[in-house]
Amino acid sequence: MTTVQFIYNEQRKFILKFFAVLMMLMALTDLTHAFLKYLVSGNQETFYYINLPYVLTNKVHYVAWYYSFAIFISIYHLISSKLNRTFGF
């Protein structure tokens, strides 16, 4: 048995939603910090891929993966919740 079998469906959904919310907060933090650096320096490169992350500065490619996965989770949740409302599930 794997660990995933012990996590119920509702718990899985909660964990994924919680991850997506945390990634959105991290993105907001990164963008806010980049904007503040831009206001001080006037350098537009603060919004570039290498310079943007503030929370996870050493793992830029991980940040991109986390953000992409969080976007996928959010889109999946929106689509599945609309389908559930449409068909009455």
Instruction: Determine the pLDDT at residue 35.
Output: 92
DSSP track, 6-64: GS-HHHHHHHHHHHHHHHHHHHHHHHHHHHHHHHHH--GGGGSTTT--SSS-S-HHHHH
pTM beyond 0.75: the answer is no
Q: Where are the domains of the chain?
A: 10-87
Instruction: Determine the pLDDT at residue 40.
Output: 92
Instruction: Determine the pLDDT at residue 4.
Output: 58
One digit per residue, the tens of pLDDT, for the chain of length 89 reads 555 567 777 888 888 889 999 999 998 998 899 899 999 998 888 888 777 787 777 778 888 888 899 999 989 888 887 766 665 54
